[in-house]
Structure 1
């Protein structure tokens, strides 16, 4: 999970101050010293850390906090607000041109994931905003760059405009916009060339494309795992092109978080999107407040709900609720639900979105093993249709056959059967409790 080390350090630091009825100036100094070290370890820009700690300290020992009934909680509120402000304050929307198409220019160094991010952004615009983007292949230098974008276009069933490797990138971009107007595309996303490092030749070409097509947005794609280097790259590109925003890739990886926490402060340009995985639907709008909540262990319910709404079929959810009410929930239903939960992303990331999950008994240091889910799937898929519908059919020989077919043991099969039975009992209890209160069944919004 992104920010894992930073999150653990900050959460343990602020925990010491949370329950205090009174907070002294010395408490605040000790806490801010720990926060400072945590941020520096996360590769956050030194000047950014210095300014942030100064603001937190001034607010935390101010009258508003010291005179409150819950000073410990007020200090955490201050830390959260300052982290949120550091990352941009609020989600920054994409600009929309007065006259279609809206032109987005994607820039960045080689290896940052620019071409893939171009495809992801087009997919997001179509799925969430019902837009019709045209992808434009302007990287005529990197071997197979055009082919890569065309392959992405095929996967997404989305048009890609290209003129081959011999054409001038400025001409390609200009003609692509004409094509978009003819075919009524409302967005044009230009995948420009990158280099291994910033050089004059690259910048001259990008400035020429900018001057000719007058893009509504210029997004710099940076690899968040490069830490402080990503901030330096952002500064260089911003000086030359006056960026409108940044897209961070690989924010789901083992990143220390320095880039996300420094870029806005150093460049004064917002982080617009974050890549949260390799799949083409794993690009998300960046919400500073939600990210600050996750870093401080407060969860991110809004993002969890959005993931559920995107990945869970509403009709299936209603059918499932009815099955829970009538106790006709089967292993087939269970398998279907597992698939929908897996589509929402890595389990560790989902747990981080649940407020207080890190403090829950048994979950604090739990490693959520995705392999265990695969074992469960294999066991269920090794059952016959009748066995999935009616687990009471299971006898010793059936269990042995299922264990052999799934590459597991009989004890693992028994454990799953027991857990499934307990889950059905719990559903029945919850349904009965809800009926007793309101005369109607339970609602399961994420199922």
Structure 2
């Protein structure tokens, strides 16, 4: 997971700071030296690290911090604030014209950065906001690029404009704009061609598109896993075609995080979104404060809430809440609850956003396959049994186990799990599950 190593190192530094009570200037400087090394190892740009440490030091060795009752916490607060400032302080949206006026967005980047998939993800987000996007296949060189865009466009329910390969991308862009105007579409997203490295031909093509049509936003898509290279490439693109913003992809991978912490400071361009997976829904708005919170091990409750609001059906949630209050929560309701969690990205993804839990999950295999087994057991019950669990006697349990292809003990564990859930719901709604140091993560009432 992104930032895992950096986050662990920073949390160790902060743990030592908190344990000291009173701090000397030497304590602060020694801690910040460790922070500096952790950032450099995370592939953060050297000049960015130097400026960051200077800014933190200037604030952290002041009398207000040294004389504070909790100087360690004050230093951590300063590190957090400076990290937010480093990544841009404010959240930046893609700038769109009025809905009755066309907005043209040009996606740029190297081959393999995920530009085509990201174009479709952006189209889906804009459609959900009430816009009428058109995806445009301007990559006429990469085999299957047009087909990939068409498949992703269909999945998002967004039309795709293509003139086939061997066509001039400038002509395609011009024709796409006319098509959008004639079909009442108000956002045109140009999926342009990339290369394996920055070259003159690619830059010239992008510049020609910008000259031929009015491009409102030029967005650079870059693979976060390339670290410092991502920053250098973004800088090169910005110098030649003037970018408006950046999207970092593959932030869910084993990336050291240097790109996210450097790119804003080096290019002066905001990070708009981060790609957190391969699904077309896996694109998160970039919030500098939330990202800093994740890096420093403070969790990311607000993003978790956003995910819940976008994925959970409010009517069903209200209905479930009423059933919980009346203690009529049955197996259908349990299945519905688990499906909602699954839609939010799974247990591991959710728990990593809770303060202090992400570090506990390190080296722990989170077993989401339990969902499938629970689902199989519940679907082997009759509608009456699902609605009224008290009907399920030993002979029925045996039949359910055979139908689900599981051992009888698993049906018994599920029954116990439901009972425990009901008790917890009556009390408060349950406590956070604990993650052990090794082995598989399990629900507190796991089967």
| TM-score, normalized by the shorter chain, greater than 0.5 | yes
Match of 1:389 in 2: 387
Contact 2:137 2:149 (C-alpha < 8 Å) held by counterparts: yes
Helix, strand or coil: the match of 2:74?
Answer: helix
> Where does 1:362-373 land on structure 2 (aligned, <5 Å)?
366-373=364-371
Query: C-alpha distance in 2, partners of 1:346/1:50?
Result: 38
Match of 2:185 in 1: 185
137-146 vs 46-55, which moves further: 46-55
Query: C-alpha distance in 2, partners of 1:26/1:410?
Result: 63
Match of 1:378 in 2: 376
Shift of 1:314: 0.8
Query: C-alpha distance in 2, partners of 1:401/1:319?
Result: 30
Deviations 1:388-443 (A, max 9, x none): 22333444444344344434433333222212101101212349xxxxxxxxxxxx
Mapped pair 1:406 → 2:404 = yes
Deviations 1:279-306 (A, max 9, x none): 1111111011101011112222221111
Match of 1:101 in 2: 102
> Where does 1:51-130 land on structure 2 (aligned, <5 Å)?
51-97=51-97, 100-127=101-128, 129-130=129-130
Helix, strand or coil: the match of 1:370?
Answer: coil
Query: C-alpha distance in 2, partners of 1:69/1:249?
Result: 42
Match of 1:220 in 2: 220
Change (3 A) 1:397 1:354: same
Shift of 1:348: 2.3
Change (3 A) 1:395 1:111: same
Match of 1:259 in 2: 259
Change (3 A) 1:118 1:217: same
Shift of 1:355: 2.8
Q: TM-score, normalised by structure 2?
A: 0.91
Query: C-alpha distance in 1, partners of 2:46/2:148?
Result: 38
Match of 2:239 in 1: 239
Match of 1:290 in 2: 290
79-88 vs 367-376, which moves further: 367-376
Query: C-alpha distance in 1, partners of 2:419/2:251?
Result: 38
Shift of 1:173: 0.7
Figure out how many residues of one structure are paired with residues of the other and give that number.
Answer: 428
Q: Work out which of the residue numbers 393, 400, 415 in structure 1 matches 2:413.
A: 415
Change (3 A) 1:382 1:27: farther
Shift of 1:69: 2.7
Query: C-alpha distance in 2, partners of 1:430/1:351?
Result: 19
Match of 1:445 in 2: none
Change (3 A) 1:166 1:337: same
Shift of 1:147: 1.5
Match of 1:27 in 2: 27
Query: C-alpha distance in 2, partners of 1:339/1:414?
Result: 21
Query: C-alpha distance in 2, partners of 1:413/1:62?
Result: 62
Query: C-alpha distance in 1, partners of 2:115/2:402?
Result: 45
Q: Work out which of the residue numbers 414, 424, 427 in structure 1 matches 2:425.
A: 427
Q: TM-score, normalised by structure 1?
A: 0.91
Query: C-alpha distance in 1, partners of 2:395/2:9?
Result: 51
Contact 2:3 2:255 (C-alpha < 8 Å) held by counterparts: yes
400-409 vs 96-105, which moves further: 400-409
Moved over 6 A (4+): 362-365
Shift of 1:346: 3.5
Q: What are structure 1's unaligned runs of at least 5 residues?
A: 432-447
Change (3 A) 1:227 1:364: closer
Match of 1:143 in 2: 143
Shift of 1:343: 0.8
Contact 1:84 1:288 (C-alpha < 8 Å) held by counterparts: yes
Change (3 A) 1:35 1:161: same
Query: C-alpha distance in 1, partners of 2:72/2:365?
Result: 30
Helix, strand or coil: the match of 2:218?
Answer: strand
Contact 1:89 1:289 (C-alpha < 8 Å) held by counterparts: yes
Query: C-alpha distance in 2, partners of 1:4/1:39?
Result: 12
Helix, strand or coil: the match of 2:219?
Answer: strand
Query: C-alpha distance in 2, partners of 1:395/1:34?
Result: 61
Change (3 A) 1:262 1:314: same
Let me know the Cα RMSD of the aligned residues. 2.0
10-19 vs 235-244, which moves further: 10-19
Deviations 1:80-117 (A, max 9, x none): 11111111112112112367211110011111110010
Shift of 1:20: 4.2
Query: C-alpha distance in 2, partners of 1:68/1:216?
Result: 49
Query: C-alpha distance in 2, partners of 1:34/1:383?
Result: 57
Helix, strand or coil: the match of 2:366?
Answer: coil
